[in-house]
Amino acid sequence: MPRVRIAVRGIVQGVGFRPTAFRLAAARGLTGWVRNHPEGVDLEVQGAAASLQAFLADLAVLPAPIRVDQVEAEALPEVADERVFEIRASGAGETALPVVPPDLATCPDCAQEIATPGERRHRYPFTNCTYCGPRYTLIESLPYDRPRTTMKGFPLCSDCAKEYRDPSDRRFHAQPVACPACGPQLRLEAPGGLRLAERDDALRGAAEALLRGETLALKGLGGYQLLVDATSAGAVQRLRQRKRREEKPFAVMFPNPEALQDACDVSDAETALLTSPAAPILLVRRRKGGIVVPEVAPGNPRLGAFLPYTPLHRLLLEAVGRPLVCTSGNLADEPMAFRDDEAHSRLGTLADVFLAHDRPIVRPVDDSVLRMDADGPTLLRRARGYAPLAVPLPGEGPPVLALGAHQKATVALGFQGRVVLSQHLGDLASPESADLLARTVDDLLAFFRVRPERLACDLHPDYASTRLAERLAAAWNLPLIRVQHHHAHGAACAAEHGLRGPVLALAWDGTGLGTDGTIWGGEALIVDGPAFRRVGHLKPFPLPGGEAAVKEPRRSAAGLLAATLGLEALPPALRDAFGAGAWAPLCAMLDRGVNCPRTSSLGRLFDAVSALAGIHPERGFEGQAAMELEFAAERAAPEGTYPWAFQGGAVRVADPSPLVEALLHDVATGTAPEVVARRFHAALADLALGWARHGGLPDVVLSGGCFQNALLTGLVIERLAAAGFRAHRHRAFPPNDGCIAFGQATVAALQAHGS
Ligand code: ZN
Ligand code: ZN
Ligand code: FE
């Protein structure tokens, strides 16, 4: 009988591959074995030729969370007297690259079980199997076995133990396996910890509180979340006040895909992503007149929507029967609470009631946020369902640890030819978040048992990440590589696409310290591995009030005019909006250049234009003005553009003076703000092409927070492609500063490689 050796590569460990292979082989009457291999899974299979063919075909199309990238088969001589197919222990002495699966949303089989009366796990909120359930949030150390997870305190009952040991069972070697007899249990608590109810009563009590309009703190998969009724304006407003979050959109969890479909326009591709094992928050188009109140995401045509991804969320949403706001359990700027004691101390004033349980969470993992664009998904926040999946690292250098930037912090650990990027840690604005960054470093190093030999950080001396990197470099006596922010952006996108040679990087974002001490952010850089050269940038303009300009776009507008047409060209309405008390000091500030840092930031240009067009002249959260400009532009048909003046030779400086002049003319003559916004977007695509031609390289990478803007990204790619350039945008990581640690690790690894 024919026999083959099969090597399978992809995401095949910790996701139920071996029991699946066992069942498939048994069903086709095949013998042989399967075992984990450092790079995937190896099998030897013997049987009738047709059955072998069918088995190979099965392997190629296994459902998520398994992801088969590669199957190689090779004929072997027959083994006599083989009667069974078995799951073998991993080969001895193999130094396996640890592969840690991310947390996986409830699979259809487990969902069916908890919904079926009479099943052992009917209504059990901690049901899971080899295809689904917690992973990264409960693994304390590797290798991944139950005694090294937070399930170690829950000895298996005999029924669960039987399933765990049975290779034909869906729960064979499912480390977090549990049931109502042996696993974690729910409890309902008042703020402070007083116990109100347990088990199913706790769940029902929480649902009733939500229906009364109260705020629930829920101990979810990777931390505490705050939930309120998304159909109650009062409940949503109360949460905004308590959380000190005025206008920033909240995400909404829907009981099921049908309820989501009622409130939003969801395509098939979007549904596939929403129901995938990663089950992220997806920004989808809102329908008019849905039951979700506008207060959830004021003025936003999109809604961050997601579906229940644990049995606990499923049961709760089902009991409530309506969509719920579901947001990270934190105060503005602080990281999400994930331990029971800190949850009560930090969320006690935010929540009316707590639904908790006795399974500890090892590390906080927030929900991921994605958007489905015309050419595929864009990651906006990479956390649950994605971290800590590794990606290849260019350059086989010594282990490197990169500490990232200041906003949307992440930590990157490069070793053995790949990079593990931590989950999104939030902005480093509070002492608690700086502390979380330090703990995440310790966690990653201990988890993967890596000793870094070099460190990387941003150029900015005041970032908490930079200061931590300096401390660690001194303590461990290691070289510290300071990577310019936009270099890191470009390097990250180039590495994602495996581009080794020089590329032109368009790094467009809000803020990053340049090598000349000014704030950059509208950059065209030639990135060549560990080195870069600035070949184009926006002509710098002053930001009166510095940081204050980030939340007050009209300050950027005043600064832009001071640097181009003159302050007197500022539309009178905008000038008046400052009020007499603020206007004179602002002019004096600009006049004398006091507290007016100069910037080439494209993010601030977005703010300025938003204010000039009358779209967002007032205060708001960072990025709000730019978002509203994008939404306005989306409502207009393409029609015209605005001109630039290019200056300089080797470094092409883009002077926006003619753009501002034409734009103000439009505004003065009553052109709709939507059309102004659209023309501005077209002008940025022109700018991209101007710099691409100047750079003269076939590959252009797009990175930076501005490329979270789907319209801008689409227009730039289209424009560059039409002119024969290959434009690449981020796929594996977010275009915002969530990619910086990865970029820094890449630059450090390539430097080590070359040195
Ligand atoms: Zn399952
Ligand atoms: Zn059990
Ligand atoms: Fe950035």
Neighbours of ion ligand 2 (CB under 5 A): 157, 160, 179, 181-182
CA of 175 to the centre of ligand 1 (A): 12
Phi and psi angles of residue 361, each rounded to the nearest 5 degrees, phi first: -105, 125
CA of 706 to the centre of ligand 3 (A): 9
Give the β-pairing of 503-513 and 519-528: antiparallel
Residue 366 has pLDDT above 90, yes or no: yes
CA of 372 to the centre of ligand 3 (A): 22
Residue 94 has pLDDT above 60, yes or no: no
| Model pLDDT, residue 97 | 61
CA of 426 to the centre of ligand 3 (A): 14
Sheet containing 418-421: order of strands:
390-392, 418-421, 412-415, 400-402, 454-458, 480-483
CA of 236 to the centre of ligand 1 (A): 33
- Dump the DSSP string for 554-587: HHHHHHHHHHTT-GGGS-HHHHHHH-HHHHHHHH
Residue type, 233: A
CA of 338 to the centre of ligand 2 (A): 25
| Model pLDDT, residue 69 | 84
Contacts of 521 (CB under 8 A, 6+ apart): 486, 507, 508, 509, 510, 511, 512, 538, 599, 600, 601, 602, 603, 604, 704
Give the β-pairing of 85-87 and 454-458: unpaired
- State mean pLDDT over 649-671: 97
| Model pLDDT, residue 137 | 96
| Model pLDDT, residue 245 | 87
Instruction: Kindly state the DSSP code that residue 706 receives in the 8-state scheme.
Output: G
Residues linked to residue 218 through DSSP beta bridges, in sequence order: 225, 355
Please answer whether residues 286 and 234 qualify as being in contact, where contact means their C-beta atoms are separated by less than 8 angstroms.
no
pLDDT digit string (tens) for 607-625?
A: 999 999 999 878 888 889 9
The ligand that comes nearest to the alpha carbon of residue 108 is 1
CA of 407 to the centre of ligand 3 (A): 8
CA of 47 to the centre of ligand 1 (A): 30
pLDDT digit string (tens) for 549-597?
A: 888 999 999 999 999 999 999 999 889 888 888 899 999 999 999 999 9
Residue 37 has pLDDT above 50, yes or no: yes
SS3 218: strand
CA 264-267-273 angle, 5° bins: 100
CA of 285 to the centre of ligand 1 (A): 30
Please answer whether residues 66 and 17 qualify as being in contact, where contact means their C-beta atoms are separated by less than 8 angstroms.
yes
The ligand that comes nearest to the alpha carbon of residue 132 is 1
pLDDT digit string (tens) for 703-712?
A: 999 999 999 9
SS3 138: coil
Distance separating alpha carbons of residues 701 and 287, to the nearest angstrom:
34
- State mean pLDDT over 316-337: 94
User: Whose CA is closest to 64, among 372, 383, 385?
Assistant: 385
Structure tokens, 678: 């659209």
CA of 556 to the centre of ligand 3 (A): 18
Please answer whether residues 700 and 727 qualify as being in contact, where contact means their C-beta atoms are separated by less than 8 angstroms.
yes
CA of 440 to the centre of ligand 1 (A): 28
Structure tokens, 624: 């709000």
CA of 311 to the centre of ligand 1 (A): 10
Give the β-pairing of 400-402 and 503-513: unpaired
CA of 98 to the centre of ligand 2 (A): 28
- State mean pLDDT over 305-318: 98
CA atoms in the 13 A half-sphere facing the CB of 381: 22
CA 645-649-655 angle, 5° bins: 20
Distance separating alpha carbons of residues 564 and 257, to the nearest angstrom:
51
The ligand that comes nearest to the alpha carbon of residue 112 is 1
Structure tokens, 379: 């990651």
Residue 755 has pLDDT above 90, yes or no: no
Residue type, 592: R
CA of 123 to the centre of ligand 2 (A): 14
The ligand that comes nearest to the alpha carbon of residue 124 is 2
Residues linked to residue 306 through DSSP beta bridges, in sequence order: 253
Structure tokens, 97: 């690259």
The ligand that comes nearest to the alpha carbon of residue 163 is 2
CA of 104 to the centre of ligand 1 (A): 9
CA of 108 to the centre of ligand 1 (A): 7
Q: What count of other Cβ atoms lies within 10 Å of the Cβ of residue 519?
A: 20
- State mean pLDDT over 49-66: 90
CA of 415 to the centre of ligand 2 (A): 38
Percent with pLDDT over 90 in the chain: 83
Crossing angle of the two packed helices 740-754 and 485-496, in degrees rounded to 10: 80
pLDDT digit string (tens) for 392-413?
A: 887 777 999 999 999 999 999 9
User: Whose CA is closest to 457, among 515, 411, 523?
Assistant: 411
Continuous segment of H or E residues that includes residue 41: strand 40-46
Distance separating alpha carbons of residues 242 and 225, to the nearest angstrom:
14
Distance separating alpha carbons of residues 493 and 729, to the nearest angstrom:
7
The ligand that comes nearest to the alpha carbon of residue 404 is 3
Distance separating alpha carbons of residues 622 and 616, to the nearest angstrom:
12
- State mean pLDDT over 45-52: 95
- Dump the DSSP string for 93-120: T--PPP--PPPBPPPHHHHHHHHSTTST
Terminal Cα-to-Cα distance of the chain (whole angstroms): 54
Residue type, 691: W
Helix, strand, coil shares of the chain, percent, nearest 5, are 35, 20, 40
Please answer whether residues 463 and 737 qualify as being in contact, where contact means their C-beta atoms are separated by less than 8 angstroms.
no
The ligand that comes nearest to the alpha carbon of residue 493 is 3
The ligand that comes nearest to the alpha carbon of residue 104 is 1
The ligand that comes nearest to the alpha carbon of residue 111 is 1
**Average pLDDT value for the chain:** 94
The ligand that comes nearest to the alpha carbon of residue 183 is 2
- Domains along the sequence of the chain with CATH: 3-87 (3.30.70.100), 186-357 (3.90.870.10), 382-484+738-753 (3.30.420.360), 508-529+534-737 (3.30.420.40)
Give the β-pairing of 216-219 and 264-265: unpaired
- Band (506; pLDDT cuts 50, 70, 90): very high
CA of 182 to the centre of ligand 2 (A): 4
Distance separating alpha carbons of residues 504 and 493, to the nearest angstrom:
11
Chain length of the chain: 755
- State mean pLDDT over 118-137: 96
Identify which of 245-249, 298-302, 479-483 has the greatest average pLDDT.
479-483
User: Poorest-confidence range of 39-53, 266-280, 717-731?
Assistant: 39-53
The ligand that comes nearest to the alpha carbon of residue 131 is 1
The ligand that comes nearest to the alpha carbon of residue 463 is 3
Distance separating alpha carbons of residues 611 and 677, to the nearest angstrom:
11
CA of 601 to the centre of ligand 3 (A): 10
Distance separating alpha carbons of residues 161 and 154, to the nearest angstrom:
12
| Model pLDDT, residue 93 | 42
CA of 48 to the centre of ligand 2 (A): 39
The ligand that comes nearest to the alpha carbon of residue 16 is 1
Please answer whether residues 134 and 140 qualify as being in contact, where contact means their C-beta atoms are separated by less than 8 angstroms.
no
CA of 181 to the centre of ligand 2 (A): 5
Residue 753 has pLDDT above 80, yes or no: no
pLDDT digit string (tens) for 455-496?
A: 999 999 999 999 999 999 999 999 999 999 999 999 999 999
